[in-house]
Chains A and B, each alone.
Chain A
């Protein structure tokens, strides 16, 4: 599902006889999605759900962090997701997003599988907050008490600046 604000066909020019939507050109994305928009995106929701399942939060001996990156196609606005290699019990490396042609990184996500009932902080750690500010995209964190958000509200500087994290 694309994010509103890009990928919509432009109205055909007057006199060309076309109907709206059949002859226009697509508009490049003018803005990056917000953290709230990402949270409401079905692709992202599915990825968070799968990452949580893969984290094996219910197994004290195997629980570990999972996560990945969220991309926006700069022409169509379509959101897609790529997973990162599995992390450790309380850490994960999201510093090297793969490049997707025509897309930029607009977010990332990871899990906090360790239980609040055993005294674990479910929200972003000071390390998360520092790295998320450096990477410049929203970070959705799935924990046992819900989804926490860290980092900027949307990709720093908008969808320009290259395919990886923003400059």
Chain B
């Protein structure tokens, strides 16, 4: 399903979902300390792996980290820390 969502004409990803998640997790743990209150959503989009941490309790104020990770190099392209 994820591979089907890759835009036509773009390179096949060489970075797996788990590898992208690991990259994001290392950075997120450094910034947010405790990630137990977040659920994680990983999707492959035309610009790379999107790794989004969303609060499990939707009634709370706040936010989590959001990443776009290059699906070929594995580098973080963009990141956003919400609070």
Chain A positions near chain B (C-beta within 8 angstroms): 61, 65, 67, 87-95, 110, 112-114, 118-122, 125-128, 130-132, 139
Contacts and interface: CB of A to CB of B under 8 A. Distances in A.
B33 interface: yes
The list of the 4 closest CB pairs from A to B, nearest first, reads A91-B62, A125-B63, A125-B82, A90-B83
Interface string B59-83: 1111110000000000000011111
Contacts of B31: 114, 118
Given A92-B61, A95-B59, A119-B79, 10 more contacts: A87-B60, A87-B61, A89-B33, A90-B62, A94-B61, A114-B31, A125-B62, A127-B60, A130-B58, A132-B61
A119 B61 contact: no
Contacts of A113: 83
Chain B, interface residues (CB within 8 Å), range:
20 to 34
A125, A126, A130 pick with most chain B CB within 10 angstroms: A125
A65 B63 CA distance: 11
A93 B61 contact: yes
B60 A89 contact: no
B82 A90 contact: yes
Contacts of B82: 90, 120-121, 125-127
A126 B62 contact: no
Contact of A127 (B33, B58, B81): B58
A89 B63 contact: no
B40 interface: no
A127 B34 contact: no
Given A88-B37, A91-B37, A93-B57, A65 B62 contact: yes
Contacts of B6: none
A131 B37 CA distance: 17
Contact of B62 (A118, A119, A122, A127): A127
Contact of B61 (A110, A118, A121): A110
Contact of B34 (A88, A93, A131): A88
B24 to A, nearest CB: 14
